[in-house]
Every structure is written in structure tokens, then in C-alpha cells.
A = this chain, B = another copy of it.
Amino acid sequence: MNYPPVTIELPAWVQPLIAAKGTFFPSLEARMALVIELAARNVAEKTGGPFGAAVFSAQGQLIAPGVNLVTAANCSILHAEMMALALAQKVLGRFDLSDNGKLSYDLAASTEPCAMCFGAIPWSGVNRLLCGARDADARAIGFDEGAKLPDWQAALRARGITVIRDLMRPEAIATLQAYAAADGSIY
């Protein structure tokens, strides 16, 4: 038995989109607008579910984007946040983005993280999480966010990770609802 490698790769439409926008996103709203657009385009391009994410430096330099590729890649771990973290670590050449606490990075997510992505965040070396839609908004259209700690934000804060919620929440919710209205696959 040979075990084939699994390749984590962005859909072809992502790089032209980033090339058109540039890679500097100074405000938190600009960072959130990008990940919401990634979520919406991922649905429009039929490459996956309505979730986008990205890693940015504290100053706003885009390090790596991610989109949900669970169905397209047949891989349940490929949530948008996981992709963005793995690609950012590849770009920077280290598994601890913070380089032992010396540097600061944001993970922006169009929807608050599920139980898996929540658990992945402290291992990645990001020290701030920016969220658009709430987990309740994802549940409202039928997505399961998993068994999370009741106060998952406090658990992240206790590990030195700041959580900023509700950035452009109405726009983030609209993307989730457009997906549900178009009868998208819920998994």
C-alpha cells in the first residue's frame, strides 16, 4: 500500500483576486472584508463552503489566505482557518508564526471558529483572532460548530490571544445566508 500525499492548495481563482487587491490591509475592517469576499467567491466558484480566512501581520500585510475546501478536496480538516494557518507557516518557514513570541499575527475568519479550528489557533502562533459572523449565525443555517467550551473566547485570552468579534457581522451573515438560500451542501 502506498499512501498518497495530500496537497493543500488554494483554488486557482484566489491568486488573481489577491493580485488585484494588493497585499496590504491596514484596517481590521479591510482584513475582514477580504475574508468575507473569499467566503463569497468560494461559493460562487463552487470550490467549497461559505468560509474564508487569512493570516495578516500586525501591520496588515497579508501572509496567506484560506478557504474551506472540505468538499472540493474531500478532506474534513481543510477548513478555511486551517488552510490559512498551514499556508502562512509554509510562507514564513516556521510552525510558530510568532517566532517564540517576538512577532504578532492576526487570524481573520469570516465566521467564528469551530471546535477544531479553536483548538488549532493556540498551536499556530497567532495572537489575535478577528471574527465576522458568530458561531450562532453558522448554526442558524445548519452548520455544526462542534463541542466548544462555553467560554471559548476566555480560553483563548488565557493563552494570550485577543479575540475581536462582530467585525462586519451583517455582511458575514449575508454570505452565509446566500449560501443556504442557494441550497448549498451543509456538512
Residues of A within 8 A of B (CB): 1-10, 14-15, 18-19, 23, 62, 64-65, 70-71, 73-77, 82, 85-87, 89-91, 93-96, 114-120, 122-125, 144, 146-149, 152, 155-156, 158-159, 187
Given A116-B116, A120-B116, A149-B147, decide whether A85 and B94 contact each other with a Cβ distance below 8 A: no
**A146: B residues at CB distance < 8 A:** 119, 122-123
Specify how many copies of this chain sit in the oligomer: 2
Residues of the B chain whose Cβ atoms lie less than 8 Å from the Cβ of A71: 95
Q: Which residues of B contact A125 (CB under 8 A)?
A: 76
Contacts of A19 in B (CB 8 A): 1
Q: Which of A95, A117, A156 has the most CB of B within 10 A?
A: A95
Q: Apart from A6-B8, A77-B123, what are 19 other A-B pairs with CB-CB below 8 Å?
A: A2-B15, A3-B64, A3-B90, A3-B91, A6-B87, A6-B89, A8-B8, A70-B123, A74-B93, A74-B94, A76-B85, A76-B89, A77-B85, A115-B119, A116-B117, A116-B120, A119-B119, A123-B146, A147-B159
Instruction: Please state if B6 and A76 are interface contacts (CB–CB under 8 Å).
Output: no
Decide if A90 touches B6 in the complex (CB within 8 Å). yes
Q: Is A90 touching B119 in the complex (CB atoms < 8 A)? A: no
Q: Are A76 and B64 in contact (CB under 8 A)?
A: no
16 A-B contacts (beta carbon < 8 Å):
A1-B15, A1-B23, A3-B10, A3-B15, A3-B90, A5-B8, A6-B9, A74-B89, A75-B95, A77-B82, A115-B122, A116-B120, A119-B146, A119-B147, A147-B149, A147-B152
